[in-house]
A and B are shown apart, each in its own frame.
Chain A
């Protein structure tokens, strides 16, 4: 059964720092890997989707990489801002379902 782990569970940084969130998964037979953002008590917003044949995707200040063979992905956030404060979830797509990690709670202080 696929398991997804995210490290760290929580992260607090001052505004302007570059940061990296980590995601690992146990079964490399995935269709894609997705990063979501969740604000407290709210739904999930898709940030980036990396197909299994791709190595990375970029959107604005966000860059996600995927190393399928080693079962790892990273989400890089450049020049962090207080508005980036949220929980970031990693999810891998199998045949019929998405399996989620438990998330990294990010706090960016002014």
Chain B
């Protein structure tokens, strides 16, 4: 089954404790992206990757890091999480950047709480 998986699905942590949210897709997609979703602000892009070893900032990259060492995986790293990073995070993938010719497939989301 074609899918995007994220782990963990739920995470409660404390300020400053480094964490990684994993994202994996099995569709051989070139493009992957991370979004955060907050009430009243909608979905905002954090980082995206056009291909392996190619990443770029989205609208809200501060406090986050990403890496794309293999095509299928695109982990999101919070080196020193803060309470304002409490949010619902989504990973997405598509054949083309931004879903130019096809839709983006979204993971189930990771609900992160930083105390």
Q: Which residues of A contact B (CB under 8 A)?
A: 31-32, 34, 36, 41-46, 49, 51, 89, 91, 93-98, 100-103
Q: Which residues of B contact A (CB under 8 A)?
A: 33, 35, 40-45, 48, 50, 56, 58, 88, 90, 92, 97-109, 111
B100's partner among A91, A93, A100 (CB-CB below 8 A) is A93
Docked complex Cα distance between A26 and B90 (Å): 25
Q: Chain A nearest CB: distance from B44 CB in Å?
A: 8
CB distance A96 to B106 under 8 Å? no
CB distance B103 to A97 under 8 Å? no
| Also in contact, A97 and B58, with CB within 8 A (given A44-B106, A102-B40) | yes
User: How many residue pairs bridge A and B at CB < 8 Å?
Assistant: 69
Q: Name the A residues within 8 Å of B48 (CB-CB).
A: 96-97
Interchain residue pairs A-B with the least CB separation, the first 4: A102-B42, A46-B103, A31-B100, A100-B43
CB distance B102 to A41 under 8 Å? no
Residue of B nearest to A31 (CB): B100
CB distance B99 to A32 under 8 Å? yes
Docked complex Cα distance between A92 and B33 (Å): 15
Beyond contacts A32-B99, A41-B111, A42-B108: 10 other A-B pairs, Cβ-Cβ < 8 A, are A31-B100, A34-B104, A45-B106, A49-B103, A89-B43, A95-B97, A95-B98, A95-B100, A97-B33, A100-B35
